[in-house]
Each structure stands twice: as C-alpha cells, then as structure tokens.
Chains A and B, each alone.
Chain A
Amino acid sequence: MHKMGRTGELGKAMKNGISPVNGSCFGFLTVVTDTQHGLFGGYLILNCSGRPLEFHCTAPVRPTRAQQILYGPTLEEFLFGEHIGQTLLRQSQLRPLVVCTDCPAALAVRQFSPAPVVLVLDERNLAAPSSQPEGKLMRIDGPHGTAELLRFEVGPNRLAVPCAADEDRRLAQERLESWTNSLDLLEPFERIRQAIEEAKQAVCQYG
C-alpha cells in the first residue's frame, strides 16, 4: 500500500480574518504526476474571493503491482478518485459548494463528495483541428462503455461533468454562476501545482 499523508495544511489562513463558512467555498482537486516520485494529489479550498482557506496534499503515490492487476483499466480512476481524492476530501474540514478538477480521472471522486464535481476544461484542449468536429475533447471508454462528458459554460469557464450527472451540471452551474463571472477556474490549479512542488522540495530536502 502506498503511503498517503498530508504534507501541508493551511491552518493559518483560517485565522487571518478569513472566516470559513461551510457552503460558501469551492474546492479544487488535482493530481500531478512527477517523473521521479509518482502521483501527488493536491486539494485547495478557496473562499468566494479566491483566498485560500485550506490546503492538503498527499505524499507521492505509486500503484502497487497488485493494484495494477486488480484495478486494471480502472486503476487511474481508483488512484485519482478513491485513493487520492477521497483521502483529500476527507481531510478537509470545510464542505465546498462545488469541487473542481482538471483531471478527468478525478471525476471519480464524485461518489465520495456530497458536492458536485466538475471538470474544468483547459482552453488549449479545446482548440482542436477542424478535422475533428466534435473532438475538442474525446473520451472513449472501451470495456466500460461510453462515459462521454456533458459540457457547459459558466462565465468564461468551460466545464464538463459525466453525461449521467445532469443534476450535477445544474447544481454546479447554479452555484458557480455568481462567483466565476470574472474568475479563471483553471488558475487555482496552478497554485496547487506550485504548492506541491514546494512540498516536494521540502520533502526531498528535509526527508
């Protein structure tokens, strides 16, 4: 079993005049792949102003051989959603209105989250060649059948949820609408990646 731990938490942010109120914050979950160490999960909760309220990240995760065999084609969903995502969400003291992710496989965390989980689409992914009319983002699940994404837009942000989760789309649209009119939902993921990089360096430096 891979070590899963919390390497950083922003307890101070909550004391510095930012009052965490459940239901008025938003979660951002991502998984970063490091060539040397494996997968790092990061979960950042922001208030409506984009200020950090909580941050959790994992120690690097590597799938065992047994997991690879057992989970087979669903290994990634297991790692991103259940192994990493669920752990991070459980660590959090706040309950966000919506959980955003930029990793499609992390959508699997939905079964452990009371809030809808949406995929934030990178604008660059949408610039598909004209030869692929529908192909701005394609996801073909062979053995498990289709799990196409239902795309929608909120403000300047392009989002998606699994097709079967139309209610999530409605909820996410409703909850994000007033907040994201001018905000870039992809930007917090950059912060998480920087934080993970910092945590990784700290781990490497001090063990």
Chain B
Amino acid sequence: MSTDRPWLPAPIAWQWQADCVVPAGVVSLDAAQLCSFPVGSLGRPGEAAVKTAPVCFAPLRVWTLRPEVPRLRVVSVVAVGSVVAVGPALRVRSFVFDKQPPPTKIQPRGQPLTNEHPRLSGGARVPADGQHRIAPPRDLVKLEDRLEYILQPSIESLLAERALHLPCQPLPFQLQGVAFLYPRQAAILADEMGLGKTMQAITAIRLLFHAGKLRKVLVVCPKSLVANWQREFSRWAPELPVMVVGGDQARRAWQWQLADVPVRIANYELLCRDRQWLESPQLVPGRARHSRRSTIACATETALRFDLVVLDESQRIKNIAGTTSQVVRAIARKRSWALTGTPVENRLDDLMAIFEFLAPGLLRADMKPRQIGRAISDYVLRRTKEQVLRELPPLLYRDAELELSPQQQETYDLAEREGVLRLTDLGDAATITHVFELIVRLKQICNYDPATGASSKLDRLRADLEEVASSGRKAIVFSQWVETLQWLAGRLRDFRPLQYHGRIAPEKREAVLARFRQDPRCWLLLISYGAGGVGLNLQFCSYVFLFDRWWNPAVEDQAINRAHRIGADQPVTVSRFLVLHTIEERIEHILQQKRELLQEIFAHTDCPAQLGLTQEELFGLFNLRCPGGPIRQAA
C-alpha cells in the first residue's frame, strides 16, 4: 500500500462501512484533506467501481488507490439527491472488496456537512427519523440563542419527556406547526381553516410554559370563540389555568391585575373597552397618585406585560387605524403570534396591518409584493388542506339555482325599480351607503318576501332538510341576517332548529352547541356568518346550507370549514342558494372571479392583491356610474 502523501505512514485502522453516503465529485485534496469517490467510479451494481484511480473518503488522511489496491465492487447504489455541489450524491447500500478493505474512515453517521439547512418552509426541521425539531427563526441573531433551540430534543421528545398527555395524536404537519411557533417571537400561523391552528398554538404554549419560557399569556379572539378557546385549552393543556376576562368593569379590573394567571382569554370588543389597563405598561389610571398604592401599581405593571399575546382570527385588526388594532399593538409583550386562515381577506393592507402588530416596521407601503413575500417568509406558515389532508372526506358543492316565487318576483321588481330610480335621481350625490341599502333590501327579498312570506329558498331548504333528517345526519344553515334566521326558525320547527347568532347571549351559546352536538333529535343549527363563521368545530355535520351569500368568498369558506375540517369522517355537502336573475346572481358572478383570482395569487405568491368588491363593482350591479374611489371595507 502506498500513498501520495509521503509523510503519512501506512494506515493503522482500516474500517469500512456499508450504507455510507458518498458525496459527488472530488474535493480539493490540498485544501480540505478530504476526498471522495468520484461519481464516475461508481458503476452499476456488480461492476467494478474503481476504474481510474479514485481516491477514498478519508478525513485527515488522503489515500490514492493505486493499481495494487483492491478493487471496490459496488453491490447496490441508490441516488439520494444533491449533497455537495457537483452533482447527485450516491448512497452505497453495500459493497464488497475484491481483496481487503481500502483505507477508508467511518464518516460520522448522516450526510456530510453542507451549507444548506434542512429547513421546511416553516422553519421546522424534519430529520431522517421523522421527528420534528425546532429550528431557530432567521431574526434570532445571537448564536447562543440559536443553539439553544437547535439543541433541544424533538417536539415528540419534549412532549414525551414531561408525559404531557394529548387527547389524540397530532398529525405530522401539526407538530411542524408547533415546532414553527415554539421559537418565534413573531409568527403567523395561516393554515387553512380546519387544520387545527388552535390546537397547534395551545400545544406550543404548553411546551413553552413547561420550558419556563412563558408565564403570562393573553389570547385575544372574537367573542364567539372565547368558549371554544376555553374548551380547547381544557383538552390540549388541562394543567394550565385559564381565565376568561369578562363581567363588569370592576371585575375586569381585578382580573387584569391578578398576577398569577398563566392564560387569559379576552375578546376583541372587551379589549377595546379595557384599553385603559392595557395600553399603558406603567400604571392603572387613578392609582399612581396614592403612594400607598404604588405597590399595586407596580404589580399591575408586571401583570400587564405579557410573555405572549396570541391574536386569533387576526384579520380583525386589518384596519390599522381602528381602535382594535391600536389597542392590541399597545399591549406590552415579548412574543406576538397571529392565527388566521385568511391573512389577506381583501387586500394586501390586511397583511400589513397584522405585521404592524407582529413586527412593526418590517413591511413598508412602498414594498412590492415579491419583496413582501421575501420579508415575511420566515414569519408565516401556511398549509392548505390539499397539501396536508389528502385523506379528508370530499367537499361536495351542490348549488341550488332557484327562481323567485311570483309574489317574491313582484316585490323584488318593485323594490329594484324604486331603488334604481332613487339612485339615478341622486346622481353624484349617491353614496355607497345608498347602494348598500338597496342591495340589502333586494337580497332580503331574495330570502323571503316580507309581505307574503313567500320564499323559494325556504321551499328548497325544507325539501333538502327532510332528506337530511331521514338520513340521521345534521345540517347547518348560514345567513348573514339574524332576522332571516329567526324567520327560518319559526318555519322549520319540525326539525327542532337551534339558533347561534348575535342575539343569543354569549353564555348560552356553548350550551346551544353542546345540545346540537349531543341531542340526536336536533338536526338543524341556524348560524349567522358573524357569530359562527369562525372557530366552531362542527365536523359532525354533513350538510352546510348557505341560505344567502356573503360579500367575500373567504368568509364563506370559513363558514363551510366549520364542518369540513379535521375530524370529519364523511363527505360534506355544501348547498349554496342562489336566486337567478337577481342581485344574488350578479354578486355571485363577481365573487367567482374573485375566488379564481385568490386561488391564482396564492398559487404563485403569498401576497394576494385586492380582493374586495370595489365601488365600481357595486355601482355596476345596477349599471350605474361610480362617482368615487374604491371601497375600503367591502366585507
């Protein structure tokens, strides 16, 4: 045996291994003292591998195989993808030597170091063993902090280590979501509706509590979801005490001041009312004057600084100038997470408003969509059902295209004629409010004629519900008006309908859902888009009826996903009621275009353009000229 490095003695340890990864190409011998099998030397299985004096993989020792060196015969080879720079690496499953092993050295298991991080889009690492490890976010600069996350065991191990019981085994993409949230100071979990954002956030919070990284968490959500969050916390983190902030002012003041409350849940509206305690990180008004109470004030200061603030349905702060947005942005906090299935509900400004909460200054108004996409890529994790839930039951659309009944038609025509005449008379004085009034009036007539009670939609719904009831399954009916729901409830008594909307007291809503879930005689739940469009888990329902259509496709999708989500074990049929030759058909035509645009944009970039109905489009519904600019809040 000889070597081209005369100062190196003969090898003392010959080791060989099968199933090693052989990087492609020959690395410079002088620079790195490391070399590898040239790709060309690895022949097909069974062929002699050493054809032209290749060099063997040997850290610190460089050996050149001379003709007298035994020939390597590869038994099986499989490509494993690009590892270095030259070309695909080859995994040698096994090989044998003609005489004796060449002087190779066992490479530490795994692949050789590369400059590429095996990161997923969300920053979680999924190594070969399938475990989900935590990868530090890009904005974490300090090496020690980054290493702290890298050196943590996998999410699975963290859960097992503390014997943290979970009600069911999370899906792999959910663990990836947990690993994404865990290290982040600012993050948007923007999974499509129904993929378990709440559960992922709670599990991440739970792990951070157990790691000692969190002590005070504030979850802000729509009022209708408070009970849902409370329930989910009791399922996924039963050991964490949770307080729902509510009651009269004195009670809320007391609740905000309590020091040892790990998790608080508050709704957006309440937050605005309690801004006096939240916006100022220093003092509760009226307390600082009294020296005796300065201790309380200091305690309050501590209590109102949160380690984490989670905004559920964070599109609620899309109006950056709105009170809600201002209040949540003023809350003193270390970490900020946002959960939303529709990070861009109408236009790019929605996303920018959320980022003003998460990472102020990260996005600027003059940035192009591509720049924004790059800037936020490490902050956003979004998965769609198509990507991760291929096994979810199908979603079947069965649009019901109806005609108005004669009485409805008469009322409708009269209302439209009068409305258009009025708008025409107003001329340039016509405002968007006038247009909306007319649209709402016409849409309500499409639902039912208030004078006669005639409704082709009701007739169709009743027929469908009889089929639903006979099959023993359950259905939910969405409408944007509480009046319509109450009117329906009166006419569908045979189906024992339950109602869930803004006129049902919040403390009674959970009982409504529980009854609907448990009572086999209750087949029907009447829900308003506003109260029940988000956050509810109704995956035991097989039928969804959209009695009237919302302005924005994203909101309709949210509603449909109450039933079509994780846990659904049977196909979900969606019936979208549409009255032909009416305002509904005209709006539907525009919404369909919007929906297609949304899909197209998200297929190429995460930065959708404007999606709401513009003022031109709304005036165009009545063939009227638009006097002004775009409507900012169409949905």
Contact = CB atoms under 8 A, between A and B. Distances in A.
Contact of A104 (B59, B106, B162): B106
A102 B151 contact: no
Interface string B153-194: 110010001100000000000000000000000000000000
A38 B32 CA distance: 7
Given A72-B9, A140-B13, A186 B151 contact: no
A155 interface: no
Nearest to A74: B12
A44 B558 CA distance: 46
Given A33-B112, A129-B75, A194-B125, A104 B7 contact: no
Contacts of A166: none
Interface residues of A, number: 71
B27 interface: yes
Nearest to B93: A127
A36 B108 contact: no
B451 interface: no
A82 B202 CA distance: 47
A29 B11 CA distance: 24
Interface stretch (A8-16, A89-97, A156-164, A172-180): A8-16
Contacts of B150: 191, 194-195, 198
A103 interface: yes
Interface string A28-40: 0011111110110
Contacts of A49: 153, 161-162
A30 B109 CA distance: 10
Given A127-B19, A139-B15, A63 B27 contact: no
Interface in B111-147: 112-113, 115, 117, 125, 127, 129, 131, 133, 136, 143-147
A196 B631 CA distance: 53
B551 interface: no
Contacts of B145: 12
Contacts of A51: 152-153, 161
A69 interface: yes
Q: Interface majority SS on B: helix, strand, loop or mixed? A: loop
Given A68-B8, A201-B115, A12 B59 contact: no
B59 A187 contact: no
Given A17-B211, A127-B18, A190-B127, A73 B113 contact: no
Contacts of B117: 197
A187 B129 contact: yes
A206 B551 CA distance: 51
Interface centre among B10, B12, B112, B211 (most CB of A within 10 A): B12
B75 A139 contact: no
B602 interface: no
A128 to B, nearest CB: 6
A7 interface: yes
Contact of A128 (B18, B32, B152, B154): B18
Given A17-B211, A103-B108, A194-B125, A129 B94 contact: yes
Contact of A122 (B8, B11, B109, B131): B109
Interface centre among A16, A36, A79, A199 (most CB of B within 10 A): A36
A10 B151 contact: yes
A141 B12 contact: yes
Interface residues of B, number: 59
B11 A50 contact: no
A112 B152 CA distance: 27
Contacts of B125: 194
A146 B253 CA distance: 77
Contact of B31 (A36, A52, A192, A198): A36
Interface in B15-41: 15-19, 27, 31-34
Contact of B19 (A72, A124, A190, A199): A124
A127 to B, nearest CB: 6
A1 interface: no
B7 A73 contact: no
Given A13-B148, A184-B129, A138 B16 contact: yes
A52 B152 contact: yes
A75 B60 contact: yes
Interface string B312-347: 000000000000000000000000000000000000
A129 B109 contact: no
B12 A73 contact: yes
Contacts of B9: 72-73, 143
A73 B105 CA distance: 13
A62 B146 CA distance: 26
Contacts of A142: 10-12
B151 A195 contact: yes
Contacts of A13: 148, 151
Interface centre among B61, B109, B129, B153 (most CB of A within 10 A): B109
Nearest to A141: B12
Q: Interface majority SS on A: helix, strand, loop or mixed? A: mixed
A34 B84 CA distance: 12
Contact of B110 (A35, A74, A193): A193
Contacts of A169: none
A138 B32 contact: no
A202 interface: yes
Given A17-B211, A68-B7, A103-B108, A144 B19 contact: no
A202 B7 CA distance: 34
B302 interface: no
B147 A125 contact: no
Interface centre among B60, B96, B125, B152 (most CB of A within 10 A): B60
A16 B211 contact: yes
A103 B15 CA distance: 12
A39 B143 contact: no
A124 B143 contact: no
Nearest to B57: A33
A125 B15 CA distance: 11
A62 B31 CA distance: 11
Contacts of A9: 144
A195 B150 CA distance: 6
A5 to B, nearest CB: 13
Interface string A108-144: 0000000000000010110111010000011111111
Contacts of B75: 129
A108 to B, nearest CB: 12
Contact of A16 (B31, B146, B212): B212
B107 interface: yes
A50 B157 contact: yes
Interface string B207-232: 00001110000000000000000000
B254 interface: no
Contacts of B106: 103-104, 125
A39 B59 contact: yes
Contacts of A68: 7-8
Given A74-B12, A141-B12, A12 B144 contact: yes
Contact of A197 (B8, B113, B131, B212): B113
Interface of A: 7-13, 16-17, 30-36, 38-39, 44, 49-52, 55, 62-63, 65, 68-69, 72-76, 79, 102-105, 122, 124-125, 127-129, 131, 137-144, 184, 186-187, 189-202
Shortest beta-carbon contacts, A-B, top 3: A73-B12, A17-B212, A52-B151
12 contacts: A16-B212, A17-B212, A34-B113, A49-B161, A65-B7, A104-B106, A129-B94, A143-B12, A190-B127, A193-B110, A194-B150, A195-B151
Interface of B: 7-19, 27, 31-34, 59-61, 75, 84, 94, 96, 101, 105-110, 112-113, 115, 117, 125, 127, 129, 131, 133, 136, 143-148, 150-154, 157, 161-162, 211-213
